[in-house]
Structure 1
Amino acid sequence: MLLGCIGDDFTGSSDLANMLAKGGMRVTQYNGIPDTPAEPHVEAGVVALKSRTIPAADAVDQSLAALRWLRAQGCRQYLFKYCSTFDSTPEGNIGPVLDALSEALDAPRAVVCPAFPATGRSVYQGHLFVFDRLLSESGMEAHPLTPMTDPDIRRWLARQSRLPVGHVAYGDIVEGADAIAAALDRETAAGARHIVTDAVTDGDLMETGRALRGDALLSGGSGIALGLPRNFREDGLLREGGQDWSGAAGTVAALCGSCSKASREQIAVHARDHPAMEAAARDILSGSLAAEDAAAWILDHRAEDTVPLVYSSADPQEVARAQEEYGREHTAAAIEAFFARTATLLAGAGLRRLIVAGGETSGAVVSGLAIPAFEIGPEIDPGVPALKVAGGDLAMALKSGNFGAPDFFAKAARILAGQSQGGQS
């Protein structure tokens, strides 16, 4: 294995795996820390954790355990993947995990770059933008678990980390790899251990990747991996030929636990032509709606040309009211358990294609289904690949809440079946 990656949620990990596979690397996504060695053909291993919103100490422990497994596979470089909107609280978990990984690897520095231009995320003068809005004005300020109220990644990370934070500004980035490398060296010499790098275009990320050729540790959204396969290829380390992947026919369903603006729009578009059922947070928490009810509803509405959808994606104000009444952690745990149980029931009933929206929801579903690893398939939308259970016949899509086009659910169903984007669901 050449590149060892640690992802702090399941959707982000599949996003990263997609980026590396598109670059020509043979990639496997491991859901949790494996207890056996990787297969010899794996060039990039992505260990997907559900560590984004757990206590920081637990996130550190899990990430270090993943690092130990990856080091045992002989990796030459390591990447800590988090969301392109830097989802975290002032206490962590990005800073504490990055500190621990840096110290375990004795890395003199780690780049910090959440930029992902293909989905509108850019970093300029240390500030994170979502399209033309600062992160704190993008809707992320109302996230129920990780409200992002400060777009200055340098300042936000400094609140979480014990190590000094530096910055490479856009003026150096646009000068190319040599200038970026010199700026990184300058920041390192000044004492910075975590260095935020600007990036506005894919070209910026490609040049940054070239500058990071010899770095032991880097971090960011999946965009930071854009230039890494080229480095390994130029060193003659990659085998030719891509990964084999095939779709799955049969019953399909979609589950959505994301409250993002993009997910709510996708629900509205999908409900025009497909059956859709709301699973309100209050109904789940009160026990008036059970996973058995949702699974039965989906099975009752399956048809060749439909993709039944169950969603719990109220506006942030409604979610906040449920959290006030039942408690934030209890509310989140109950909704995740509801979707995990629904997915388990559907899989037991012969489901062959499953689309899941929302990072925490996806993590709960994958954990509930006890899926050890995924094969990486074609891209559905930027940041969202088709997946297939390794050695199994269940095809899945795991979508971060903010990702995907308005017609994502129907498009995903087609691609999971092995059809082109222009085919019929």
Structure 2
Amino acid sequence: MRSPLPDYLLEVVDACASDRSGALADYIPDLARADPERLGVALSTIDGEVYAAGDVDVEFTIQSISKPFVYALAIQDSGLDEVLRRISVEPSGNAFNELSLEAGTGRPYNPMINAGAIASHALVVDGLSSEDERVERVLEAFSELAGRELHVNEAVFESEMSTAHRNLGIAHMLRAQGIIEDDPEEIVRGYTRQCSIDVTARDLALMSATLANSGRQPQSGRRIIDPRVVRQVLSVMLSCGMYDAAGDWITTVGIPAKSGVSGGVIGALPGQLGLAVFSPRLDEHGNSVRGVQVCERLSADTGLHLMESVQPARSIMSAPEVDIDGDGARTVTVRLRGSMLFTGAERVLRALSQLDTGDLGSLVVDLEDVFTMSDVAVRMLVEAGRRVALDGVSVTVHDPGELLGDVSADALGAAVVVDEPLAAG
């Protein structure tokens, strides 16, 4: 069977292609020469399957879509406390290039506007690195995220630097406030190179899916961003990623997102997928007109809004299997599956707490079909096993994927964890 998803995406592209409103970013000479008719959309699942339609392999510069990824690098390289000391996380309600800083602290309002993004770039590597070191760090990380080697578009870089007076003014303001400590012109050059990296919609879908996949690149499987950093980045993207249109975006689309003035839009829905749209004409907020339309259509058609009600906890556990030996002792086997978070773990604990342990000889818990398990779910399941064992029941947890990690003997008590699958039958 041929998947209907590419046909669906092509239908969405065709439906949105007729809208020719908006304008190119003509304040950057090279972007003013873009083909305004380009339109492509790509989706990547968190296991690396990419569905695409339209102009998804046309290269364009990443521009402000670089901001969330460099914010992640800044946190990983300089630490969250240091980054928060220099960059706030509040929605500004202003345009992306507003010449304003937070009253009292002098910090940029958030890392998704230019002031915050320039400060983020200055914190890449260790805050004391050279321009070349910062750019190399960004380029290598972006290449890993996209799954191919990316390059800076030097023509766009030169074009942007020729009109970078506003960003230079912002950088000098940041230097005067002590937010950045390096030469403002050097920081702006590095930031502009960051924005001038060529990507495709296909690349951006994989980069977004890495955020949706808790920082693990879907195709290589390599951990690139720490999960706690991803949570910080996605939170800021949701509230600030679409500039002064963020409120409309949250209510209509409901996916953490970021746009760029070359016409790209990305979205990352945690645990599900990453998406990217490319269409160069922009609205008054600096967001792609067709890109916004495509995302609104996808959210409405497929239930991708973050606030859609789901009940994953209901499907985490199969009905307990009971075997009775010749002496009348019972063995209960519980098979878990899917992604296990707090609510799923609570459901397992509730079921185990209702077991009659009077004639229960053994409890077997099978994790072979569990894909991911949050830290709190691990702690809850381990404690449940320990408590059942305290009632004199032999507890064995089959964890072939080693989801429980290196659990201490004290935490387990008399319960036993083995890394082999549960034998059939």
Interval of TM-score (by shorter of Structure 1 and Structure 2): under 0.3
User: TM-score normalised to the size of structure 2?
Assistant: 0.27
TM-score of the two chains, using structure 1 as the length reference: 0.27
Bigger CA radius of gyration: 2
